[in-house]
Structure 1
């Protein structure tokens, strides 16, 4: 990893050579991570995408990364330093980097920025995200079948649309196969904090859940599930090594094709600001191998949902669906539009509790 200090040193060296890069110089691509690359979840998979860029382009590209960057002012400082050091393309990989990305991009119009999971674009800022809710539909189906207590625990990070969508999708599909299922949700207000995630998992188990889902980045919940003899799902990466018995399946994020394509666009001079939201069909969301613990008929049902999403025959949010207060949201056969999903700020009927402010 290149530290901020080495990045600035590179900028000084470049200025000492006249301040201009030669044509044969490699394209400089930077990545900013909210957690450590060893989280075996979100940041780990983004760094796997970076490594794929290195493998694909070889000496034509030089990559660097800064890990565990807090969202907010710290992110703006790191992005500024990256831009000053001559980076041509910078990927900012957490929702809370949205405003820092926009702010820094305005000061460096010749640098291309790519922001993950946000919604603000500029001439030199693209946005990209994955339709994780499609994966939640598949895993929710498995959870609904596998729970014996009818209690599914969900460890949630922040109350933003991405996380709320996932809770709703998982619940809808668990409830379809098990009308008695209940979700218990714990908000931990962090993306990566193994201690908090472990405490949340323990608290949920003490409330009677026997399946845990999560929208946080560490394998702590999986580890607790393994220790306590209950079931869980990998999040962002497979996490099988942390719960060889507990793990039922996983949602795996595959950023490599996107990172390679966007880097190529800069090299070709064809890069332009875009908004990308891909899912299972495009391969940005992958469903991990089903555990042998999952009965064959449940595996087949989960696979059928995944296949129908890929074919376009099915949408994870298909009516009839009501909001939590009982008001009609989607009529029979109606599907949710992307605008509503992108701004989702409500639970569907049957999910208990309030969404925090």
Structure 2
């Protein structure tokens, strides 16, 4: 097994040649990753790097992996992707939404390189997309939050106001209010995926408003640390964040990218890789509900796990009507479920959330 962290000096490394249709077995397939945060963030990037490590464990000397961490979204991402392509990586995973346009730009210049973009929606012959149905996990967390809040005020720290994050806010609120009609949802935007200082400030602002349960769509453990100080509860985001269990971290949403990464690398190696879009959830094992600790009453744990099983089996969809938009207009009729197209373009709150979505 070969592995190295790519440095700037590696940009001029020679380009590896692929055999057709499958990758040549006498040389390793070079695979690159770019991460929006550090591998030690304990959240989103940490989970993607576990997937990279799973590739190495599965394929051994048939692969050589490289990563560049803490890459800002924008021009820096385009430079990092170009660097990976020039270094001979023939499969590149770009693991943040804001890498989308840089991926498309670089992929057009390197048609022989295969690109995989996490959480995006733009594709090309050599660009595939993959995503997880995080909103399914948010439904389970929202159920626990609605049952456990004593103030009836739940806070949510958002990263950026994109459909993926809005889905999570709505799903959490819908399911919190299903079990507790008195619940209010307060939202603070960090405008960052990973910034512990901003996330801590956001958590402090929510706690000052009387929130006693915090959910987050940001990557650091800073909100859990603030919750711990205040005697509030929260949830692990992207990874288990078990260091804060049994409280304030009472459960978690865990992103397990390993099966997808292993599958796609295998397809490159055997010549069957194709550009497609994948959106997997609890039933596929990509969205995992972390241990629900004993800080959660047994009956609430049972209720949350029952919901998880209903979602996993396809018996229940978290966005099932009747549901209205925040402005009172009808969205989903009784028994109607949201389509993937509706969800992937979601730009509104559901009825009951009074905050405005930043434009």
Flag whether TM exceeds 0.5 (same fold): yes
Question: Does the 8 Å contact 2:92/2:114 carry over to 1?
Answer: yes
Question: Does the 8 Å contact 2:12/2:86 carry over to 1?
Answer: no
* Alignment-derived partner of residue 311 in structure 1: 313
Q: How many residues align?
A: 351
Please list, as runs of the form range in 1=range in 2, the aligned pairs for 1:1-357 lying within 5 A after superposition: 1-11=4-14, 24-357=26-359
* Alignment-derived partner of residue 20 in structure 2: none
* Alignment-derived partner of residue 18 in structure 1: none
How far apart, CA to CA, are the structure 2 residues paired with 1:354 and 1:5?
A: 42
How far apart, CA to CA, are the structure 2 residues paired with 1:53 and 1:189?
A: 32
- 1:138-177 deviations in Å (ceiling 9; x for gaps): 0000000000000001000000000000000000000000
3-state DSSP of counterpart to 2:13 = helix
How far apart, CA to CA, are the structure 1 residues paired with 2:325 and 2:105?
A: 36
TM-score, with structure 2 as normaliser:
0.96
How far apart, CA to CA, are the structure 2 residues paired with 1:275 and 1:7?
A: 31
Ranges in structure 1 where 5+ consecutive residues have no aligned partner: 16-20
How far apart, CA to CA, are the structure 2 residues paired with 1:124 and 1:72?
A: 20
Ranges in structure 2 where 5+ consecutive residues have no aligned partner: 18-22
How far apart, CA to CA, are the structure 2 residues paired with 1:50 and 1:214?
A: 25
Question: Does the 8 Å contact 1:121/1:127 carry over to 2?
Answer: yes
How far apart, CA to CA, are the structure 1 residues paired with 2:7 and 2:105?
A: 19
How far apart, CA to CA, are the structure 2 residues paired with 1:295 and 1:242?
A: 18
Pairwise CA distance, 1:243: 4.7
Moved over 3 A (4+): none
How far apart, CA to CA, are the structure 1 residues paired with 2:39 and 2:205?
A: 27
